[in-house]
Amino acid sequence: MIMWEISSGNTVFSDYKYDDSSLTIEICLKELRPNILKGTATCYAELLNKCWDKDPNNRPSAIEIHETILK
């Protein structure tokens, strides 16, 4: 989510109330993710999607993230 905020310049899910448990349900159970903005570099968009994978075992390590960002 931090990567999305950096790429968009906006706060993720700013249209939701953060004290509202419905946001937690949307993210955890319904896999709500922000839209990747048009113009985002393909490698960065792919990395965002990998970071958001429901299965933590499929998410990239900090080293993989670092290496991708340095490319």
Fold that domain 1-70 belongs to in CATH: Transferase(Phosphotransferase); domain 1 (1.10.510)
Which string of DSSP letters, residue by residue, matches 17-66?
Answer: -TT-HHHHHHHHTS---PPPPTT--HHHHHHHHHHT-SSGGGSPPHHHHH
The residue written with tokens 């965002």 in the block is 48
Domain boundaries of the chain, sorted by first residue: 1-70
- CA distances in angstroms from 6 to 1, 28, 55, listed in the order given: 9, 22, 23
Q: What is the pLDDT of residues 43-67, one digit of tens each?
A: 899 999 999 998 999 999 999 999 9
CA distance 14 to 17: 8
- CA distances in angstroms from 56 to 48, 52, 61, listed in the order given: 13, 9, 10
Q: What is the pLDDT of residues 6-30, one digit of tens each?
A: 889 999 988 887 666 888 888 888 8
